[in-house]
């Protein structure tokens, strides 16, 4: 399955977030967010690996808060903070044995090395899971429709900074470590990356300056989530093969949020 198909699968599998926009009236607002999201780590090298490295659906969640300002009837700006749990799950059929330390071309090689160093069996069929948590800081330009209506269109677009918080890898249901290679799982991933964010949906105006909103929210990594510079000191070799493709983080789902307008202005 190609990358475009995987992105479509993530989008189709979505149930996601709690976000907020604001009344289309000038002034500040604050919001709370929460989410259930479909996630992926998209890599063309892994996509082309065949049955030895296939993929399973993975879902995570996100939660956070935002502060925004509406400049005109339709345009505003929002900055937020989200805690996001994401990654991807894998399954496969092992049909060859790969020696540890020869450079990891596909993730099944990494899973084999992890199983070997953690005294786990890795033959026949296997499952594996990568769980990453990030602190995300989105800066979003917002557009709202006619807020004189009770229900109106709402959308947002902008960049997002991702700060890696934790990384855990499991093989056959067992949490593994890279202790034998003298580094941590978090060392395999870049500490900071950037995404593009898009959200489309609607908002419902409530009494007491409250708004409830629902959006389909997408974010996609603009750079490599993996730290390709990481080396195995004892073997004097790179963890990732130099020919390995870029790995892009991706999430998609339904975002729900509640916002409170702090200051009302003229329409």
Residue 15 covered by a domain = yes
- In tens, the pLDDT along 217-231 reads 999 999 999 999 888
Residue 203 covered by a domain = yes
- In tens, the pLDDT along 156-177 reads 999 999 999 999 999 999 999 8
Could you tell me the sign of the dihedral formed by the alpha carbons of 177, 188, 194, 3, in that order?
A: negative
The model carries a pTM of 0.84
DSSP string, the chain: --HHHHHHHHHHT----------SSSEEEEEEEEEEEEEEEEEHHHHTTGGGSEEE--EEEEEEEEEEEE-SSSEEEEEEEEEEEEEEEEEEE--S---TTS-BSSHHHHHHHHHHHTT----SEEEEEEEEEEEEEEEEEEEE--TTSSEEEEEEEEEEEEEEEEEEEEETTEE---GGGTS-GGGGB-SEEEEEEEEEEEEEEETTTEEEEEEEEEEEESS-SB-TT-EETTTTEESB-TTPPPEEEEEEEEEEEEEEESS----
> What was the pLDDT predicted at 236?
63
Residue 266 covered by a domain = no
CATH number of 21's domain: 2.40.160.20
Residue 267 covered by a domain = no
Do 31 and 253 touch, CB atoms closer than 8 A?
Answer: no
Give the list of residues 6+ apart from residue 219 with CB closer than 8 angstroms, or none.
136, 138, 160, 195, 196, 197, 198, 249, 250, 251, 252
Lowest pLDDT segment from 6-15, 142-151, 180-189, 232-241: 6-15
> What was the pLDDT predicted at 4?
43
Question: With 90 as the cut, is the pLDDT of residue 133 above it?
Answer: yes
Paired with 60 in beta bridges are 37
Question: With 80 as the cut, is the pLDDT of residue 23 above it?
Answer: no
Q: In whole numbers, what is the pLDDT of the chain averaged over residues?
A: 84
Mean pLDDT to the nearest integer, 125-136: 95
Question: With 70 as the cut, is the pLDDT of residue 247 above it?
Answer: yes
CA nearest to 248, candidates 13, 37, 2, 3: 3
Residue 229 CA to residue 135 CA, distance in Å, equals 23
Question: With 60 as the cut, is the pLDDT of residue 141 above it?
Answer: yes
Residue 253: which domain range?
3-261
- pLDDT class of 105 with cuts at 50, 70, 90: low
Token look-up 């070799």 returns 237
- In tens, the pLDDT along 51-100 reads 888 898 899 999 999 999 999 889 999 999 999 999 999 998 875 554 43
Q: Is 236 exposed, middle or buried (0-12, 13-18, 19+ CB in 10 A)?
A: exposed
Residue 144 covered by a domain = yes
Whole-angstrom distance between the N-terminal and C-terminal Cα of the chain? 49
**Domain count of the fold of the chain:** 1
Residue 31 CA to residue 18 CA, distance in Å, equals 9
> What was the pLDDT predicted at 114?
85
């Amino acid at each position: 399955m190609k990358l475009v198909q995987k992105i479509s699968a993530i989008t189709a599998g979505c149930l996601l977030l709690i976000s907020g926009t604001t009344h289309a009236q000038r002034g500040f607002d604050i919001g709370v967010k929460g989410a259930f999201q479909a996630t992926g780590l998209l890599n063309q090298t892994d996509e082309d690996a065949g049955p030895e490295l296939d993929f399973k659906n993975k879902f995570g969640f996100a939660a956070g808060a935002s502060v925004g300002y509406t400049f005109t009837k339709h345009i505003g700006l929002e900055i937020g903070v989200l805690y996001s749990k994401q990654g991807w799950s894998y399954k496969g059929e092992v049909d060859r044995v790969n020696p540890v330390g020869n450079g990891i071309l596909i993730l099944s090689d990494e899973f084999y090395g992890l199983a070997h160093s953690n005294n786990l069996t890795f033959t026949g069929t296997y499952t594996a899971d990568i769980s990453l948590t990030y602190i995300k800081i989105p800066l979003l330009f917002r557009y709202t429709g006619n807020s004189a209506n009770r229900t109106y269109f709402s959308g947002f677009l902008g960049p997002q900074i991702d700060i890696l918080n934790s990384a855990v890898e499991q093989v056959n249901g067992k949490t593994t470590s890279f202790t034998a290679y003298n580094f941590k799982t978090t060392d395999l991933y870049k500490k900071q990356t950037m995404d593009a964010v898009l959200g489309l949906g609607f908002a419902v105006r409530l009494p007491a300056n409250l708004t409830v909103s629902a959006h389909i929210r997408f974010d996609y990594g603009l750079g490599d989530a993996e730290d390709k510079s990481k080396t195995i000191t004892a073997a004097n070799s790179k963890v990732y093969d130099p020919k390995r493709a870029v790995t892009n983080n991706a999430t998609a789902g339904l975002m729900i949020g509640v916002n409170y307008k702090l200051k009302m202005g003229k329409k």
